[in-house]
Amino acid sequence: MAPRFESAAAVRAGLEAVDYLADDAAAGVVFLADRLEKPVLVEGPAGTGKTELAKSVARMSGSRLIRLQCYEGLDEAKALYEWNYKKQLLRIQAERHADAGWDELSDDIFSEEFLLARPLLAAIRADEPVLLLIDEVDRVEVETEALLLEVLSDYQVSIPELGTVEAVRVPLVFLTSNNTRELSEALKRRCLYLHLDYPTPEREKAIVLARVPGVSDHLADQVARIVRTIRQLELKKPPSVSETLDWARTLLLLGISHVDAASAAGTLNILLKYQSDIARAARELQPAAG
C-alpha cells in the first residue's frame, strides 16, 4: 500500500490546511505511524487536542473516521463484533420444520449475514482508507485492553465461528489517554508515543487566529495570555483549547475587542465549569486583565 504522507513536513502542512497547528513532534509521529504501520498512543491532560489531532489527520488524508469511545464496562460485543441474535432466532424458527440438521443450520446462522461489526472489526474490514480512533482508552479496565492487542499487533480479528479476519488496508490507529490510570506495558509496546500538553501562548494565539474567523491579532493575543494565566492556578479543571476557542467566539459575539477585568469576569463561565475555579480566576485577573 502506498504511503499516505511524503514527509513530516507534508503532514504539518496538511494539518495546517485543515486548521490544526501541529508541532514538529506531532507531525513526525504521524508520518512514522503511516510508514511503520504502527498505532499512535497520544497522552496528555484533557483538552489539549488529542482527539482533534486524530480527526484532523482523518480530514487531511481523506480517511474515513471510525471512533471507538471507551468507557468503564466496554466489552467485546461493543468493541469488536456481536451476532444478531434476533435475526438468528428468526432463521432458526423459520427452519424449524425443515430437514436441515443442526450442523447445517449452525453454519448458516454463524455467517456474514448475521455478523454485526463494531468499530474495531469495521476498521479492519474496510476497503477504503480508514483512521481508527480509540478514544480515552484509559477509561477501560486493564482486562479489556487485551481485546485491542491482536488488532494493534497484527491488524486482524479472530472470530471463532468464521476464522481470522485480516485487514484489507492497514488503518491509521490513534489511541488517546488522559492519564487517569497507567496503561499496560503490552499496549504501550505496540504503539508509537506522543505527549500533548497545553500549547504555549504563542501557539494558542495562532490556534485562535486560525479557528475563530474575524478575531483580531490583539484579542487573540489577550485571550491566549489570560488563558495561560488561568491555567497556572490551582483549579479543579483547567480550560481546554476548545474552551479557549469558545471564549474567543463569545467575546466576538459580545462585541468585546479588548478584555478588561469586568469583561473577563463576566465571561469566565465559558472557560471554567466550577464556581470555585471561576471565583479564583476572577480574583487573579483583577489586576492582570485590561
Q: Is 91 found in the same domain as 211?
A: no
Same domain, 20 and 102: no
Task: Specify whether the CB–CB gap between 212 and 249 falls below 8 A.
Answer: yes
140, 180: one domain: yes
How many independent structural domains does the chain possess? 3
pLDDT of residue 96: 67
Say which residues have a Cβ less than 8 Å from residue 36's Cβ, sequence separation at least 6: 192
Percent of the chain surpassing pLDDT 90: 68
Q: Does one domain contain both 48 and 144?
A: yes
> Could you tell me if 158 and 187 lie in one domain?
yes
pLDDT band at 168 (very low <50, low <70, confident <90, very high): confident
pLDDT of residue 191: 96
Instruction: Answer yes or no: do 88 and 169 share one domain.
Output: no
**Cα end-to-end distance, the chain, whole Å:** 55
Q: Is the pLDDT assigned to residue 289 strictly greater than 60?
A: no
- The verdict on residue 1 lying in a domain is no
pLDDT of amino acid 214:
96
> Per the domain annotation, does 3 fall within a domain?
no
Select from 162, 195, 228 the last residue of a domain: 195
CB 131 within 8 A of CB 63: yes
Average pLDDT, the chain: 90
For residue 273, being part of any structural domain is answered with yes
Q: What pLDDT was estimated at residue 30?
A: 97
Helix (H) / strand (E) containing 204: helix 201-211
272 shares its domain with 158: no
Q: Are 203 and 239 in contact (CB under 8 A)?
A: no
pLDDT average, residue stretch 177-181? 91
Lowest mean pLDDT among 157-161, 255-259, 265-269: 157-161
Q: Residue 230 — very low, low, confident or very high, per pLDDT cuts 50/70/90?
A: very high
For residues 264 and 278, membership in a common domain is answered with yes
**pLDDT reported for residue 164:** 87
Cell match 449475514: residue? 113
Residues 199-205: contacts with CB under 8 Å, at least 24 apart: 199/48, 199/49, 199/241, 201/225, 201/227, 201/228, 203/21, 203/23, 204/228, 204/241, 204/244
Cα–Cα distance between 239 and 268 in angstroms, integer?
10
**Owning domain of residue 235:** 201-285
What is the distance between the alpha carbons of residues 223 and 234, in angstroms, rounded to a whole number?
A: 19
Average pLDDT rounded to a whole number, residues 33-56: 95
243 part of a folded domain: yes
Choose one of 164, 195, 226: the last residue of a domain. 195
Report the alpha-carbon distance of residue 201 to residue 49 in Å, rounded. Answer: 15
Tell me whether residue 181 is in a domain.
yes
**CA of 149: how far to CAs of 30, 145, 194, in Å?**
20, 7, 19
* 125 and 50 together in one domain: yes
Please tell me the distance from the alpha carbon of residue 265 to that of residue 139, in angstroms, as a whole number.
34
Grid cell of 119 as nine digits: 468499530
* 32 & 165 share domain: yes
Nine cell digits for residue 81: 463484533
In terms of domains, do 149 and 212 share one? no
Pick the last residue of a domain from 195, 212, 230. Answer: 195
Identify whether 263 is part of a domain: yes
Listed residue (181, 48, 44, 66) closest to 131, CA to CA: 66
CATH number of the structural domain spanning residue 126: 3.40.50.300
172 pLDDT higher than 60 = yes
Please indicate, yes or no, whether residues 101 and 226 belong to a single structural domain of this protein.
Answer: no
Residue 48: CB atoms within 10 A of its CB come to 22
Residue 131 half-sphere exposure toward CB, CA atoms < 13 A: 24
Can you state the percent helix, strand and coil of the chain, rounding each to 5?
A: 50, 15, 35
Band (113; pLDDT cuts 50, 70, 90): confident
Q: What is the pTM of this model?
A: 0.85
